[in-house]
């Protein structure tokens, strides 16, 4: 029996390790000291690691990263970040598409295949029409830029909707149009700018360090111009 148990553990361990393999490099990390110089600089490429999607889920053409949305899961950055700025541009290609990015994550899948951390939501505008409940549409501000804890991560919402924080106004563009998120993550506080204006945030996150994850959640989404600036 002990031999059988040891074999099962070994198989499971090998499966976990093999899943966490390098996929591709996309986006860049730029040193803060270079930004201070005021010069246009090229940073180091960000290596993305497979967590629990498929290689075919992602297509990297150099300028745009295309996610098919299936299966549900995430990829993660190679390194962990604590205090940083992240610029990320995204667009949904399907009405009502669902996705997001996780920060301060352990990148270990939970029961629903998504990890813990703080999620910065990316939903397409038609989500409210497709997800009408009891004849009522969710408020439009719910469909983009919500920030919330996942997997037991606790936080204080700037603009509460239950335990989540919602955007104070809708600045999101619809299917096929590029949206820009600038995410400031410092000492357990997150501030989110959507298309050039800060509209949401949280504070006192119980988790303040971890991987950045990109989410695959059922619909095609595309990413471009991912830049991370690590802060002291």
DSSP three-state, residue 203: strand
Burial 143-176 (b: 16+ CB within 10 A, else e): bbbbbbbbbebebebbbeeeebbbbeebbbbeee
pLDDT of residue 217: 96
Both structure tokens of 151: 């997997």
pLDDT digits (tens, 9 = 90+) for 132-143: 888 887 776 666
Predicted pLDDT at 6: 42
- The residues facing 118 across adjacent strands are 103, 149
Residue 216 contacts residue 57 (beta carbons within 8 Å): yes
Strand bridging mode 221-230 / 22-30 = parallel
Q: What pTM value is reported for the model? A: 0.89
Average pLDDT over the chain reads 90
At 40-84, the pLDDT tens digits run 778 999 999 999 999 999 999 999 999 999 999 999 999 999 999
Reported as a single tens digit per residue, the pLDDT across 11-48 is 344 344 346 899 999 999 999 888 877 677 789 999 99
Question: Can you give the pLDDT at residue 3?
Answer: 45
Q: Name the CATH superfamily for 23-230.
A: Exo-inulinase; domain 1 (2.60.120.560)
- 172-199 pLDDT per residue, tens: 999 999 999 999 999 999 999 999 999 9
Instruction: Round to whole Å and give the CA distance between 98 and 103.
Output: 17
Domain boundaries, the chain: 23-230
């Amino acid at each position: 029996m002990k031999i059988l148990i040891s074999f099962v553990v070994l198989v499971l361990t090998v499966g976990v390790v093999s899943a966490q393999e390098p996929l591709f490099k996309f986006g860049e990390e730029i040193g803060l000291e270079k930004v201070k110089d005021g010069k246009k600089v090229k940073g180091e490429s960000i290596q993305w690691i497979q967590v629990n999607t498929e290689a075919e889920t992602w297509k990297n053409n150099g300028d745009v990263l295309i996610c098919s949305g299936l299966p549900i899961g995430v990829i993660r950055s190679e390194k962990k970040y604590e205090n940083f700025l992240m610029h990320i541009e995204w667009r949904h290609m399907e009405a009502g598409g669902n996705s997001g990015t996780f920060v301060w994550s352990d990148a270990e899948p939970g029961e629903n295949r998504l990890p813990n951390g703080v999620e910065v939501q990316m939903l397409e505008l038609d989500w409210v029409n497709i997800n009408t409940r009891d004849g009522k549409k969710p408020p439009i501000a719910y469909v983009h830029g919500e920030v919330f804890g996942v997997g037991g991560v606790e936080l204080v919402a700037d603009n509460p909707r239950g335990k989540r924080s919602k955007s104070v106004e809708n600045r999101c563009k619809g299917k096929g149009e590029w949206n820009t998120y600038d995410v400031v993550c410092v000492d357990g506080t997150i501030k989110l700018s959507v298309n050039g204006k800060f509209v949401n945030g949280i504070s006192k996150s119980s988790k303040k360090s971890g991987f950045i994850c990109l989410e695959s959640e059922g619909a095609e989404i595309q990413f471009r111009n991912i830049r991370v600036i690590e802060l002291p």
